[in-house]
């Protein structure tokens, strides 16, 4: 079963608007990661936020983490058509010294030109 | 290209046939992961290698599935007696010895007829 749940499942906005996606998880974590997946392709790592961090920025991306609420959000500012993709949050689950990623179902983002 | 590569990219097979996929991780990464992703879902962990040792296997990995990483470099995932329920995208990822970020390959899409 998947630990994370993204909300909304689908989001459609106009180019230039901001897009916000939320992720909730169930157990304690070391870090939380966001990935992007274009249709039918592999995942691209966007950003990692550690459990002791509250906010992180990377270009047009802003990620927040609230460990008390077990939730995270991904904000994409000034969206572009190329941002159209599915976005997944992934929490870590330590296995034999490494991290198994547990993904949510994803948010399907569509940017309309 | 120094990213994770997977072959083949697409595989169509008939039910009952055996299939084998290959993953070549980033060269300095000693950790290798296999995930499976069905349509509309996030990836689910299958198995993990550290160097040549397979250290973790998911319950999703039935006895028809076997994975190897004989020399600690590339890995193969074999599915015997394929079933229609095996149809999915099979993703491989690798990470550095002390890294949390996993780098994903483009995936192998399996269709079982």
pLDDT band at A39 (very low <50, low <70, confident <90, very high): confident
Dist CA B78 CA B113 (whole Å): 17
pLDDT of residue A5: 81
pLDDT of residue A22: 96
Is B50 near chain A, with CB under 8 Å? yes
Q: For the segment B47-62, what is each residue's pLDDT rounded down to a tens digit?
A: 999 999 998 888 888 8
Tokens 């990464």 locate to B29
Q: How far is residue B31 CA from its own chain's centroid?
A: 13
Average pLDDT, chain A: 91
Q: Along the 113 residues of chain B, how does pLDDT read in single tens digits?
A: 579 999 999 999 999 999 999 999 999 899 999 999 998 899 999 999 999 999 888 888 889 999 999 988 999 999 999 999 999 999 999 998 777 789 999 999 999 99
Q: Buried b vs exposed e over B1-39: b needs ≥16 C-beta within 10 Å?
A: eeebbbeeeebebeeeeebebebbbbeebbbbbbbbbee
Dist CA B67 CA B76 (whole Å): 6
Q: What is the DSSP letter of B86?
A: G
- Other C-beta atoms closer than 10 Å to the C-beta of A94 total 10
Residues 71-110 on B with a CB inside 8 Å of A are 89, 91, 93, 95, 100-107, 109
Q: Which residues of chain B are within 8 Å of residue A40 when distances are taken between CB atoms?
A: 89, 109
Of chain A, the percentage scoring pLDDT greater than 90 comes to 73
SS3 B84: helix
Q: Is the pLDDT of residue A100 over 90?
A: no
Q: Which residues of chain A are within 8 Å of residue B41 when distances are taken between CB atoms?
A: 2, 105-106
Q: Which residues of chain B are within 8 Å of residue A106 when distances are taken between CB atoms?
A: 41-42
Cβ of A98 within 8 Å of Cβ of B105? The answer is no
The two tokens of residue B18 are 């055996």
B67: closest CA of chain A, how far (Å)? 16
Q: Is the pLDDT of residue A104 over 80?
A: yes
Among A2-6, A29-33, A63-67, B47-51, whose mean pLDDT is lowest? A2-6
Check if the beta carbon of residue A101 is closer than 8 Å to that of residue A3. Answer: no
Dist CA A44 CA B12 (whole Å): 25
pLDDT band at A95 (very low <50, low <70, confident <90, very high): low
Is B42 near chain A, with CB under 8 Å? yes
Q: Which residues of chain A are within 8 Å of residue B50 when distances are taken between CB atoms?
A: 96-98
Q: Which residues of chain A are within 8 Å of residue B40 when distances are taken between CB atoms?
A: 105
pLDDT of residue B96: 87
pLDDT of residue A1: 45
What is the DSSP annotation of A65-94?
A: EETTTTEEEEEE-S--GGG-EEEEEEEEEE
Instruction: Catalogue the E-assigned strands of chain B.
Output: 5-7, 10-13, 19-24, 31-37, 44-50, 53-57, 65-68, 75-79, 88-95, 103-104, 108-112
Is B25 near chain A, with CB under 8 Å? no
Check if the beta carbon of residue B79 is closer than 8 Å to that of residue B86. Answer: yes
Cβ of A99 within 8 Å of Cβ of B102? The answer is yes
A105: closest CA of chain B, how far (Å)? 5
């Amino acid at each position: 079963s998947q630990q994370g749940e993204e909300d909304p499942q689908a989001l459609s906005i106009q180019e230039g608007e901001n897009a916000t996606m939320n992720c909730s998880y169930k157990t304690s974590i070391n870090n939380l990661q966001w990935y992007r997946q274009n249709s039918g392709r592999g995942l691209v790592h966007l950003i990692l936020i550690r459990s002791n961090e509250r906010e992180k920025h990377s270009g047009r991306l802003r990620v927040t983490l609230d460990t008390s609420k077990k939730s995270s959000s991904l904000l994409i500012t000034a969206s572009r058509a190329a941002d159209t993709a599915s976005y997944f949050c992934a929490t870590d689950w330590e296995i034999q010294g490494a991290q198994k990623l547990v993904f949510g179902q994803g948010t399907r983002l569509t940017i309309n030109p | 290209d120094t990213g994770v590569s997977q072959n083949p990219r697409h595989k169509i097979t008939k039910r009952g046939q055996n299939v084998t996929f290959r993953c070549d991780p980033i060269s300095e990464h000693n950790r290798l992961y296999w995930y499976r992703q069905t349509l509309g879902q996030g990836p689910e962990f299958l198995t993990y290698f550290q160097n040549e040792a397979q250290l973790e296997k998911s319950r999703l990995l039935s006895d028809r599935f076997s994975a190897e990483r004989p020399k600690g470099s590339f890995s193969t995932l074999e599915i015997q007696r394929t079933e229609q329920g095996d149809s999915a995208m099979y993703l491989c990822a690798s990470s550095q010895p002390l890294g949390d970020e996993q780098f994903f390959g483009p995936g192998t899409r399996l269709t079982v007829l």
